[in-house]
Amino acid sequence: SMAIRVADLLQHITQMKRGQGYGFKEEYEALPEGQTASWDTAKEDENRNKNRYGNIISYDHSRVRLLVLDGDPHSDYINANYIDGYHRPRHYIATQGPMQETVKDFWRMIWQENSASIVMVTNLVEVGRVKCVRYWPDDTEVYGDIKVTLIETEPLAEYVIRTFTVQKKGYHEIRELRLFHFTSWPDHGVPCYATGLLGFVRQVKFLNPPEAGPIVVHCSAGAGRTGCFIAIDTMLDMAENEGVVDIFNCVRELRAQRVNLVQTEEQYVFVHDAILEACLCGNTAI
C-alpha cells in the first residue's frame, strides 16, 4: 500500500519534491497511462462526432449508457464514465465539456441519473480556444425534452454557483440542480494555492443532497482537472475517515475507470499539495 498518515504528509511531500532517487516524477510515471480498456462503442463512426478529443473517450465497461431515443441504437452513447468515490460506487460521473452536438445528450444524462450537482472546472474559452459550449440558459431553455430554468446566480471570488430547476416533458416533477463553476483555474498548469479550490470542493460536498445521483464533473476533455477535483474530494473523505491518504492508488483506480484522469505530473503534485493544505489549515472535519 502507498497509504501515508496525514501526520506524515508534509515530510513525505517534501522528500518526494527533492526527488533524490525516487520522487514525484518516478511515482507519476509508474501510473498506467493511456488506454487500458476497450472503448469500441466510443470509436464507432456514428459516435465519432460526440467526442471532443479523439484520445479522451469512454471505456466500454464504465461508460454511462443513455436510454435509447427513437430506436436509434447509437443514441445511448455519451462521452462520460461512472467513477467510484470513497466507499461510494458511482459517486461521480466524469465527462467532457458539452459540445454543440452533445448538449441535449448531456441534459438527458443529468435527468436520467438524477444528478443534483454539476461541477465545471474550466472556462468556456481559454487562450482563445473554445473549451466547452455554454449549455445552460440565462433564463429558460428547452434542450430536447428537458426544460431548464435559471433561478439564482451567486458569484463568489473564485467560483459561481448557479441554481436551476429542471423538468422533463410529460413529468410533473420539478428538480433543483446546482452548477458549481470554478473560474480561476489558470489556462495552463495548476492554481498557485489550493485554498480557493478547497473551498469550492467543500461547497459541493456540503450542498450536494445525500439522496441525489452522481455528481457530474467536467472540464474540457474530462481528464486533467476533472481528475484533480475527484481525487481531492475522494482523498479528503479518506483522510477524514481513516487518518491516511493513498493518492497513488486513488489515481490508479480513477484511471481504470476513465482514461488519464489527473493528466500531468504537475497536476499529480498539485493534488498532494491541496490535500496537505486541507490537513494543515483545518477548516475541515479532519
Band (pLDDT 50/70/90 cuts) for residue 284 is very low
Q: Which neighbouring-strand residues pair with 149?
A: 140, 165
- Maximum CA extent, the chain: 63
pLDDT greater than 60 at residue 250: yes
Torsion angle of alpha carbons 22, 247, 10, 225, nearest 10°? 100
For range 265-275, the mean pLDDT: 97
The residue among 20 and 101 whose pLDDT is bigger is: 101
- Sequence-separated (6 or more) residues with CB below 8 Å from residue 9: 245, 272, 275, 276, 279
DSSP state of 72: B
What's the pLDDT at 149? Answer: 98
Could you tell me the domains of the chain?
Answer: 4-281 (3.90.190.10)
What's the whole-model pTM score? 0.97
H or E element: which one contains 224? helix 224-242
H or E element: which one contains 244? strand 244-245
Mapped onto helix, strand or coil, the DSSP state of residue 148 is strand
pLDDT digits (tens, 9 = 90+) for 155-186: 999 999 999 999 999 999 999 999 999 999 98
